[in-house]
Amino acid sequence: MLDPASLAIVGASDKRANLRTLVELNERSGVTVHLVNPRRSQVLDRPAIPDLEALSQTLGEPVDTVLCLLDAAATPDIVESAAHLGVGGVVLTAAGFAEAGPAGATRQARIAAVAREHNLAVCGPNGNGFLNPSAGKSLFLGPVDQVRRGGLALISHSGGMLTSALTAGAERMLGFSHLISAGNEAVTDLVDYVDVLLDDDQVHAIAMIVEQVRRPAAFLEAAYRARALGKPLLALKLGRSAIGQRMGASHTGALMGNARDYNAAFAQTGVLVTRDLDDLFDQCQLFANLAPERWRTSRRVAVLTASGGDAALVSDAFETLDIPLPVDDEVAAWTRERVPTNALGNPFDITGLLYTAEEFGPVLDRYLASECYDTVLVVGKFGPTQEQFAAPLSTPLLATAPRTTKRLIACTGPAYALGPWTETLIDAGVGVASGIGPVARSLHAMNAHLAVRDRAAPPPVVAVPAPAETEVAADGEHQLLRFSAAARLAESFGIPMAPFVELDPTRQDIAGAVESLPPAASYVIKVANSLHRTEIGAVLRSVGRPDVLAAVKHLSDLATSRGGSPEVVVQPELAARGEVLLGSTTDSPFGPVVLFGLGGIFVEVLADVTARLAPFTAPDALDMIDALRARPVLAGLRGAPPWNVVALADILVGFSRLAAATAGWLAAIDINPLLVTETGYAAVDIGCVVRSRTQRADDVREE
């Protein structure tokens, strides 16, 4: 479908804008184009064929791809005809399907059923087709200027954004292999396109404009495969706000997923997250314009500018994204001899040398010869009308790039359109980018990709069977795994639980049990099986030993008066210098999601949490910890000793495996808080919400 040798355009008409351009473009690339129109014997001064059946009889074989330009009502008949004739794929541009109400949904279901029965690929409906610049082919009826060929593929659920992508790409000189408008994905979806593109040697990176991932498990598998192949995926998730979700649903019939779930899925699999269209294409710049053998982490970048202002902007942008600018003292001294006004060690303001070819060539060579640097970034003027002005820069760059293994990058100061003439630089191996801030984001994106590229996917987890009914207690509308059973389960996954004694005044003589409690300065006493202890006054802290017995009886009576179970937990009160919370939910389409954050104000006020899919590995856990805004707290404040981050990561990994192993029967798990004590970590509370048998049965039916 994406690379046809023969193409039939159904509904071809002289009145169709850009159709002649589309036909001529494909024919120049060797595609045999047939025009189908039942009411016209000629279209675009060419013979037209009445229908697909007549075309197949004439050719003796089906065409590779059908582009259907008919309205929604007529489209299902064309798909059925193509399916029965053995056509390779159909591209549907009409709107009026699942996004348009019940009648449209019925039409879309009819298309999906016949296409799946006959193994027919379908692009759309409610899309704008696709471009395949790598083969010089296009089934896109929008305005198409010359698209530069390259290694970046784009898949978009929003068809209109293909036009925006073409404009953004032209301004940034991005080289595209494919641009695909997936539309409603009646049959062929985002994962199908990603899978095909990953197997294409011409594709180096894939950008995605995502409304909804319809097959989450398959997407995760594809994303892990992309990471293993070293092909970055970059995603712009639409509909992150409540209003955006409603708009997206009305436009494409896609129910937007929770932004948190998508962020967790993307972070877990190494998909790079972007904020908006500009950010997406900014981050893509170096992936698109540099061959993969020139990709590297940006820890050793030298920056050459002809402006002190640009030098300051580079310093600010790089510091914001934690990209270091190392200084080679010998090279810095050498530079100051030639430019005494250069007060910086890196970036290097070489005003007076940058636009003199005889001076800039040796300067470039000197920086490339330094073992301190593997990348030289040159900030200059590379706009459409600046080719002659930039020649003193571009000429040495063109000469040097083919004979060095180091990375050369040329970028503008402000983010403006690059000149088409910079294609010669890109072809020579120079990474060309628009804007200091954007190039910093692109370098940061490459750092993030390379940091996880060789990371293995987490190993599978063996499911833990659901407990017996006797291990479950009611708490209002919820069913909870009893505290003692939950604690044992957590400990089996390496989560350290604080010492506790569970007492039931209705079944045992608790006076003797209280006498045998381990000694402690004070105790914490709480109702064992409740999600909302604090709200109902079911937690008592700093209880002295003489008062423990009365406190246990009081809380047991409180629990039973509210319809709960009578068990009470007694724990020695632990001194702590910090706390964290661990939580998991199974309501994500991607499977169980683990939330992690520091306790207290950091969660309640600052909402400082990170998330990953369960299960994950120790490097993923360390990434979660590093992603917290309050991460400096863990290093120790005001002389306090630092936290054992490695041990904390191990606990996170164990918790993720617990969440994955129980996802079939636990709806949520909360450990809040996990205390940081002088001797290590201790979980003082755990709550596990058990899913009803009906919910579990529903999940089995959906699978």
In a domain, 133, yes or no: yes
Looking at every residue in the chain, the average pLDDT score rounds to 91
Query: Across residues 16-34, what is the average pLDDT?
Result: 94
- Residue 253 above 70 pLDDT? no
Whole-number CA gyration radius for the chain: 31
Contact 595, 583 (CB under 8 A): yes
Give pLDDT tens digits for 535-591.
Answer: 889 999 999 999 999 999 999 999 999 999 999 999 999 999 899 999 999 989 999
Helix (H) / strand (E) element for 481: namely strand 478-481
In a domain, 193, yes or no: yes
Query: Across residues 170-193, what is the average pLDDT?
Result: 96
Output the pLDDT for position 696. Answer: 57
Residue where a domain stops, chosen among 265, 289, 313: 289
33 and 157 fall within a common domain: no
- Whole domain around residue 27: which residue ranges? 1-126
Output the pLDDT for position 351. Answer: 79
pTM higher than the cut 0.75? yes
377 and 338 fall within a common domain: yes
Please state, in angstroms and rounded to a whole number, the distance separating the CA atoms of residues 428 and 290: 10
132 and 121 fall within a common domain: no
Residue where a domain stops, chosen among 289, 312, 328: 289
278 and 240 fall within a common domain: yes
559 and 642 fall within a common domain: no
Please state, in angstroms and rounded to a whole number, the distance separating the CA atoms of residues 626 and 633: 11
Query: What is the CB-side half-sphere exposure of residue 182 using CA atoms within 13 A?
Result: 26
- Residue 255 above 50 pLDDT? no
Query: Across residues 634-660, what is the average pLDDT?
Result: 92
By three-state DSSP, how is residue 198 classified?
A: helix
81 and 149 fall within a common domain: no
165 and 115 fall within a common domain: no
Please state, in angstroms and rounded to a whole number, the distance separating the CA atoms of residues 82 and 92: 12
Looking up residue 436, the CATH number of its domain turns out to be 3.40.50.261
- Residue 701 above 60 pLDDT? no
In a domain, 514, yes or no: yes
Please state, in angstroms and rounded to a whole number, the distance separating the CA atoms of residues 106 and 492: 50
528 and 622 fall within a common domain: no
8-17, 289-298, 638-647 — which is least confidently predicted? 638-647
Query: Across residues 478-482, what is the average pLDDT?
Result: 93
Number of domains in the chain: 5
Output the pLDDT for position 531. Answer: 84
Query: Across residues 238-253, what is the average pLDDT?
Result: 46
Please state, in angstroms and rounded to a whole number, the distance separating the CA atoms of residues 263 and 595: 12
In a domain, 494, yes or no: no
In a domain, 484, yes or no: no
333 and 310 fall within a common domain: yes
Contact 508, 559 (CB under 8 A): no
607: CB partners within 8 A, 6+ apart: none
Give pLDDT tens digits for 302-345.
Answer: 999 988 899 999 999 999 999 999 999 999 998 888 887 765 68
Q: How is residue 536 annotated by DSSP?
A: G
Give pLDDT tens digits for 44-96.
Answer: 999 999 999 999 999 999 999 999 999 999 999 999 999 999 999 999 999 99
Looking up residue 599, the CATH number of its domain turns out to be 3.30.470.20
- Residue 182 above 90 pLDDT? yes
Residue 241's Cβ-count burial label (10 Å; 0-12, 13-18, 19+) is exposed
Contact 225, 198 (CB under 8 A): yes
Query: Across residues 468-495, what is the average pLDDT?
Result: 94
Task: List the structure tokens of 19.
Answer: 């159709």
- Residue 242 above 60 pLDDT? no
Task: List the structure tokens of 534.
Answer: 């604090």
Output the pLDDT for position 457. Answer: 93
205 and 247 fall within a common domain: yes
- Residue 448 above 90 pLDDT? yes
Task: List the structure tokens of 485.
Answer: 């059973």
In a domain, 462, yes or no: no
284 and 155 fall within a common domain: yes
- Kindly state the percentage of the chain with pLDDT values over 70: 94
In this structure, are strands 32-36 and 593-598 parallel, antiparallel, or unpaired?
unpaired
Looking up residue 99, the CATH number of its domain turns out to be 3.40.50.720
Please state, in angstroms and rounded to a whole number, the distance separating the CA atoms of residues 378 and 451: 25
Give pLDDT tens digits for 110-165.
Answer: 999 999 999 999 999 999 999 999 999 999 988 777 799 999 999 999 888 888 99
Neighbouring-strand partners of residue 504: none
In a domain, 677, yes or no: yes
Query: Across residues 629-655, what is the average pLDDT?
Result: 91
171 and 54 fall within a common domain: no
Give pLDDT tens digits for 376-393.
Answer: 999 999 999 999 999 999
In a domain, 101, yes or no: yes
Residue where a domain stops, chosen among 289, 317, 350: 289
